[in-house]
Structure 1
Amino acid sequence: MPNTLYRALPATENLLTQLHTAHAALCAGLPRPMLRELVNAFLQEKRCLIKEGCITDPAILGATALLPGLVTFVGQHGMPHFRRVLNATGVVIHTNLGRSLLAPEAAKAAAEAAAWYSNLEFNLHTGARGSRYSHVEELLCSLTGAEAALVVNNNAAAVFLMLDTLCKGKEVIVSRGELVEIGGSFRIPEVMEKSGCTLHEVGATNRTHVADYERAITERTAAIMKVHTSNFRISGFVKQVPGSELVALAHQHGLPALEDLGSGSLVNWQRAGVPGLLHEPTVQETVAAGLDAVSFSGDKVLGGPQAGIIVGSKETIGKMQKNPMNRALRIDKMTLAALEATLRLYTDPELALTRIPTLRMLHAGADAMRRHAVRLQKRVVKAFAAAGISASVVLRAGESRVGGGAFPECDLPTTLVRVEGIEAEALREALLRLPLPMVGRVEDDAFCLDPRTLQEGEDALAAGCLVEAVGGI
């Protein structure tokens, strides 16, 4: 009997041809070798079911009978691994979901850089070789007040380049309370070790004084470094030395003063009137303190592509530009195009707040979130009613998060859309299995959507995802 069932299975090429003929749109985005592998995998599943005795009727093994199941199989397994996700978590700079979204201008610039030749390293005025950094250096200097700027592929690389260039083989003095660990267990002391310099910790975890730094300076000292604790806070009996005082001390001893700002911001959020956000030092304020080099991320609060930006004095930046490691850490043309477009928006602060998605989401107040939540609630209720789904969709006050290691103690007021009456964990898992996955959060035994991180046009998609997921539970 099993042999009869095996023989009833269609040949791979026959089934592949029928799939192409009946479902051309499904096959259009998949190369034929990949489709053939999927068809083989589908048929192998059927062979396993035959072997296990789960299939006993040869009538269900013909090409026509198998085609609907094959279509579903190809639809599930033929999708790219890297794909779009709806973010309903309320975490604006969600590290696991791609961090900051690009402004339309930045996305367009990146697409054009990818699709066409460009003047990446070509000077259109002279017709000779140019520098890729020239496209953004002037903008960065204008926006931050720095003398010079350099961009590498992320902020960890920026810190590495600073230390490798200026401190290799010597000591760097850092306050014990600033030895941060960023995502992926990546720690400042380890970056220092890999860059060839030695960490010299000073002060206590909660309090460090200028005298602590001064006592640590020896002939082996290469720099004094300040690390902004973007992703944690120490409160209570605390003291940190301001950057301007470290600059004065460092320069008194002929040393450079460096700072890793982490998630650097060009916006004073308290001045922008965002409730809940404490003051974070801006890049402009840090540069004004006289630091020789300041590094920060391009894809966090700045709202641009992944990049590590270093601004500072011409002399210091010039040394980094000449470091052979700079080539290994440099940014690609798409990142450069997106960063330039993002920085151009910052030249008009009001425009930046409306066009850069990260800034727009952070700037949205409680009233705007309430209105958005009401619209989303109505859409979900209507979709559930049309699908015959019995569940309560209610609103509740909640909090959004900035994410990306920024503003760790600060919540943003929002209104959550809660789906009650459906097992929350089952719904969460079902939403992850969809062709267009949606990620939300579970609170008090209910699946919740935070409208803060749903973009324009995504409310309808979110409602459709909920209906599809409930149908699959």
Structure 2
Amino acid sequence: MVHGSKASPQDLPSIDKLLRLPSVQPLLTAHGHTLVAIQARVLLDSLRVQAVAGSLQLADIQAETLSISLALGIEERLAPRMRRVLNLTGTVIHTNLGRSVLPQAAIRHLTAMMEGPNNLEYDLVDGGRGDRDSIVEGLLCDITGAEAATVVNNNAAAVLLSIAALAGGREVIVSRGELVEIGGAFRMPDVMASAGAIMVEVGTTNRTHLADYERAINARTAMLMKVHTSNYAVEGFTSSVPESQLALLARERQVALVTDLGSGSLVDMGQLGLPQEPTPQQMLAAGCGVVTFSGDKLLGGPQAGLIVGERDLITKIRKFPMKRALRLSKLPLAALEATLTLYLQPELLTRDLPTLRWLTRTPEQVTATAQALLEPMSAALTPRYTVSLQSMSSQIGSGSLPVDRLPSAGLAISPVLAGKRGTGTALDHLATTLRGLPLPIIGRVADDSLLLDCRCLDDVTEVLAQLATLRERLA
């Protein structure tokens, strides 16, 4: 029954009637009955709420309008939640934005391995069962100089597994200054407990000496643990014991020395003009028995926990029952192999590895990218916002070198207002609109402006192509 221009709940079609509409038949053919029926119910439930509230128009429940609404609902339901974005935050390795971006070589190899069966655990030489670790172990040993290597699904797992396999039920000595907490409340004391080890703290927050470790070692000691404090810095009156000195003590007292590097760069960052970061190669040369580090930070590959070191220790870790639960699956393993292969040609890394390419961009190069966006962005945002070219400071991110900054450049966007009142609302609206674009653009708000740092922008056309949509949505 029709009540003026408003629609009542009784005016709504049944699900069966909606699905029988001629205009809905292409949707059934394309998507199948199950999904279309579910979305039809969702649509009608939503329209019923509007009808009860008296806000539903008869025009909204005509056959053509219902079909369009149903198609849009299906499209939205099928749209992936995980989407590619443009990282203009100024943080190169952004934890919330997926950390390192895979190189093209890794993407190509990953795709090829996913298109059909592969020899993940199959020996092509003798036709028997293979070991998935062998896919990358040789590469890791060649690059780091380790005797052996294994991999798990992230560095937290690498640390947990190493402690459990080498020190379960026994004591692990660690400096109080290295009892770190990183993302997700991952605390070293909790890791020790989860691994079944007994943590023994030595030294103080700011100063720990070799004698502190010496006094703590006893018959129950299984391991000395070093944790690289990659996500914060302690300055002033500080002291810590280098791995080379701990290695001598560990060897003398016959306990393992394990070092967690966290970000784990495989190249000398200083040679690239970047702040120094300890490498697995240096730690192994200093005498560490086991070194753990991440695959998706400074290494520039997929999420993975890499464990390298002495053969007998790596063998114990590899054979520990927990290893199977933490092992790397075929997708990241394929990407990791291709990424590590790039390190066999170190001179080409700043070209082929996105993370190192972005980190080593000069301020002049970044400024040129920002300059190419300045006028088009100004035209798109006028008259509500002003856009200016501005020097900025990028950071490496994901706990790597937290104090150091990289000179960068980008666009500073400010609202045109009579005073400061309303600035926050205007900036939030702009940031939300940028995030809502087909290819979301993520910047950061600071100093009453929205900053778009161009260090990680390879192709300005990906921004330029969306400016018409941006202008339209802001209007």
**Shared fold, TM over 0.5:** yes
Q: Which amino acid aligns with 1:49?
A: Q
Q: Which amino acid aligns with 1:381?
A: S
Aligned to 1:369: 366
Q: Is the 8 A contact 1:393 1:417 kept in 2?
A: yes
CA distance, structure 1, for counterparts of residue 27 and residue 78 of structure 2: 14
Q: Give 1:431's match in structure 2, choosing from 427, 431, 434.
A: 434
Alignment of 1:81-160 (within 5 A): 81-160=81-160
- Structure 1 residues 370 and 435: alpha-carbon distance in aligned structure 2, compared to 1, 3 A threshold: closer
1:466 aligned onto 2:470: yes
Q: Is the 8 A contact 1:436 1:465 kept in 2?
A: no
Q: Which amino acid aligns with 2:194?
A: K
Q: How high is the TM-score relative to the length of structure 2?
A: 0.91
Per-residue CA distance 1:220-252 (angstroms, 9 max, x = gap): 111111000010100111111110100000110
Task: Compute the displacement of 1:34 (Å).
Answer: 2.9
Aligned to 1:80: 80
Q: What SS does the corresponding residue of 1:218 show, helix, strand or coil? A: coil
Aligned to 1:394: 388
Task: Compute the displacement of 1:313 (Å).
Answer: 0.6
CA distance, structure 1, for counterparts of residue 129 and residue 373 of structure 2: 52
1:249 aligned onto 2:253: no
Q: Which moved more, 1:388-397 or 1:97-106?
A: 388-397
Q: Which amino acid aligns with 2:198?
A: T
- Structure 1 residues 36 and 431: alpha-carbon distance in aligned structure 2, compared to 1, 3 A threshold: farther
Q: Which amino acid aligns with 1:368?
A: Q
Alignment of 1:191-270 (within 5 A): 191-270=191-270
CA distance, structure 2, for counterparts of residue 156 and residue 292 of structure 1: 18
Q: Give 1:292's match in structure 2, choosing from 289, 293, 298.
A: 289
Q: Is the 8 A contact 2:259 2:288 kept in 1?
A: yes
Q: Which amino acid aligns with 2:356?
A: L
- Structure 1 residues 314 and 448: alpha-carbon distance in aligned structure 2, compared to 1, 3 A threshold: same
Q: Which moved more, 1:124-133 or 1:426-435?
A: 426-435
Q: Is the 8 A contact 2:437 2:466 kept in 1?
A: no
Task: Compute the displacement of 1:419 (Å).
Answer: 2.3
- Structure 1 residues 18 and 351: alpha-carbon distance in aligned structure 2, compared to 1, 3 A threshold: farther
Q: Is the 8 A contact 2:264 2:280 kept in 1?
A: yes
Q: Which amino acid aligns with 2:467?
A: A
Q: What SS does the corresponding residue of 2:271 show, helix, strand or coil? A: coil
- Structure 1 residues 330 and 443: alpha-carbon distance in aligned structure 2, compared to 1, 3 A threshold: same
Task: Compute the displacement of 1:282 (Å).
Answer: 1.3
CA distance, structure 1, for counterparts of residue 245 and residue 336 of structure 2: 32
Aligned to 2:184: 184
Q: What SS does the corresponding residue of 1:344 show, helix, strand or coil? A: helix
CA distance, structure 1, for counterparts of residue 362 and residue 155 of structure 2: 30
Aligned to 1:9: 12
Task: Compute the displacement of 1:270 (Å).
Answer: 1.6
CA distance, structure 2, for counterparts of residue 378 and residue 35 of structure 1: 45
Q: How high is the TM-score relative to the length of structure 1?
A: 0.91
Task: Compute the displacement of 1:2 (Å).
Answer: 8.0
Q: Is the 8 A contact 1:417 1:450 kept in 2?
A: yes
Aligned to 1:312: 309
Q: Is the 8 A contact 1:418 1:446 kept in 2?
A: yes
Q: Which amino acid aligns with 2:40?
A: V
Per-residue CA distance 1:166-223 (angstroms, 9 max, x = gap): 1011110001101111101111111110000011110111111100100100111111
Unaligned runs of 5+ in 2: 417-425
Unaligned runs of 5+ in 1: none
1:333 aligned onto 2:327: no
Task: Compute the displacement of 1:104 (Å).
Answer: 0.6
Task: Compute the displacement of 1:378 (Å).
Answer: 3.3
Task: Compute the displacement of 1:21 (Å).
Answer: 6.2
- Structure 1 residues 32 and 243: alpha-carbon distance in aligned structure 2, compared to 1, 3 A threshold: farther
Q: Is the 8 A contact 2:247 2:288 kept in 1?
A: yes
Aligned to 1:39: 40
CA distance, structure 1, for counterparts of residue 246 and residue 258 of structure 2: 9
- Structure 1 residues 98 and 2: alpha-carbon distance in aligned structure 2, compared to 1, 3 A threshold: farther
Q: What SS does the corresponding residue of 1:417 show, helix, strand or coil? A: strand
Q: Is the 8 A contact 2:101 2:301 kept in 1?
A: yes
Task: Compute the displacement of 1:364 (Å).
Answer: 0.9
Q: What SS does the corresponding residue of 2:100 show, helix, strand or coil? A: coil
- Structure 1 residues 394 and 247: alpha-carbon distance in aligned structure 2, compared to 1, 3 A threshold: same
Q: Is the 8 A contact 1:437 1:465 kept in 2?
A: no
1:343 aligned onto 2:340: yes
CA distance, structure 2, for counterparts of residue 186 and residue 73 of structure 1: 39
Task: Compute the displacement of 1:301 (Å).
Answer: 0.8
Aligned to 2:423: none
Q: Is the 8 A contact 1:10 1:62 kept in 2?
A: no
Q: Which amino acid aligns with 1:53?
A: G
Corresponding pairs, count: 461
Q: Is the 8 A contact 1:10 1:63 kept in 2?
A: no
Percent of residue pairs identical: 44
Per-residue CA distance 1:285-326 (angstroms, 9 max, x = gap): 111111110000001110100000000011110111111111
Q: Which moved more, 1:174-183 or 1:35-44?
A: 35-44
- Structure 1 residues 15 and 395: alpha-carbon distance in aligned structure 2, compared to 1, 3 A threshold: farther
Q: Give 2:456's match in structure 1, choosing from 453, 456, 459.
A: 453
1:415 aligned onto 2:416: no
- Structure 1 residues 100 and 19: alpha-carbon distance in aligned structure 2, compared to 1, 3 A threshold: farther
| Structural RMSD (CA) | 2.3
Alignment of 1:374-385 (within 5 A): 374-382=371-379, 384=380
